[in-house]
Amino acid sequence: MRYEDVQSKLQTVFSPEQAAVLAQVIHEAYTDLVKTSDFNELKEIVRNLSVKMGELAEAQKRTEQRVEELAEAQRGSEARLTRLETIVGELAQAQKRTEKRVEELAEAQKRTEQRVEELAEAQKETQKEVSRLDRALQKLAEAQQRTEQRVEELAEAQKRTEEELRKLIGEHAETRRQLGGLTATVGYRLEDEALKALPALLQRDHGLVVKGRLTRKFVRDNQGKDIEVNIIGQAERNGQTYTIVGESKSQLSKKDVDAFIRKKLKRLEGVFADVFPVLVTYMISQPDVEDYAKQKGIAVYYSYEF
C-alpha cells in the first residue's frame, strides 16, 4: 500500500494535517506488520480503522461545531462582561458620589442638630420672655382698667368744662360786643376831636390851610369801589391844593401804618392829585412807630395835642 494512496483517501474525511499524520502511522504499521499471510487480516483491520476514523471524523465535526458554539457563547459572555464592567464602573462612581453625599448629609445633620440646640435655647429664652410679657400684660390690663375709669371721670369733668366753656364763650361774646361798642365810641370820639383840632395843627406844622371842614365820608377808590375815609378834606399851601386823608387808632402800631397805606392810600392813588396822609392816636405801641410813619410820609398827631 502506497503512502500517497492512503493519505489521499484519508483527506476525504480529515484535514490535510490529520490525514498526513494518520497516513504516516498506517504506513509505518503496514511496513512493520504486513506479510503475505496476514494481508487479509490487515485489510480487515484497515476497514475497521476506516470505520473508526469516520466515526472519529464525525465526532471531530461535532466537536468543532460545539467549539464554535462555545466560542460564540464566549464572545457573548465577553460582551456581557464588558457591559458588566461598564456598569460596575458606573456603580463605583455612583457609590463614590453617594458616599460624598452621605458625608455632606452627615455634616448637614450635625449643623441641623446644632441649630436645633440653638433653637431649643432660644425657645427657652422666648418662653421666659413670654412669661415676662404675660406679667407685663396683666399689669397693663390692670392699668388699662384704671385708665378707663380715669377717662370716664375725665369725660364727666370734660362735660362740665364744656358747659362752663359755653357759658364763658357766651359771656366773652357779650364782652367783645360791649368792648367793640366801647372801642367804636372811643374811636369816633378821637376822630371827632381830630376833625376839630387838625386844621390848626396842620397849618401850624405844615402850612396847610384847610378849606371848609374836615369830615368822615365814603369815597370811590381807583377800582370803582366805595371805601370809608375817617378824616378827609381839602387844604391849600402856596397855591397848591391837597386832599387830607386820615385815620384814627387808639394805639398806633407799625401794622396799623402798613394797613393804612395798603387799604386807604394805595386804593386812592390816582383818585386825588396830591394826598396829605395823617394818623391820629392816643398812644403808640412801640417807641419807633412815629418815626416809622414819618419815614412813610405820614404825619402823626396825639390826642393830647388837641
Lowest model confidence (mean pLDDT) among 38-42, 45-49, 249-253: 38-42
Yes or no: say if 182 and 204 are a contact pair by the CB < 8 Å rule: no
pLDDT tens by residue, 261-292: 999 999 999 999 899 999 999 999 999 999 99
pTM: 0.43
Whether residue 259 contacts residue 249, with contact meaning beta carbons closer than 8 Å, is answered with no
Name which residue leads in pLDDT, 45 or 143: 143
pLDDT at 33: 62
Q: How large is the average pLDDT for residues 110-115?
A: 86
| pLDDT value of residue 299 | 98
For 187-196, write each residue's pLDDT tens digit.
579 999 999 9
- Whether the Cβ atoms of residue 302 and residue 282 lie closer than 8 Å to each other: yes
Query: Is the per-residue pLDDT at 247 higher than 70?
Result: yes
pLDDT band at 38 (very low <50, low <70, confident <90, very high): low
pLDDT digits (tens, 9 = 90+) for 148-179: 888 888 888 888 888 888 777 666 554 454 44
How much is the pLDDT for 184? 46
Q: Residue 181 pLDDT more than 50?
A: no
CA–CA distance, 193 with 211 (Å, rounded to integer): 18
Supply the pLDDT for residue 39.
62
What's residue 187's pLDDT?
A: 53
Domains, the chain, in order of start with CATH, read 190-305 (3.40.1350.10)
**pLDDT over 80 at 98, yes or no:** no
Neighbours of 246 (CB within 10 A): 26
Is the pLDDT score of 182 beyond 60?
A: no
| Mean pLDDT to the nearest integer, 43-70 | 78
Percent of the chain past pLDDT 70, that is, above it, reads 90
Instruction: Output 125 or 48, whichever has higher pLDDT.
Output: 125
Over range 67-71, report the average pLDDT.
83
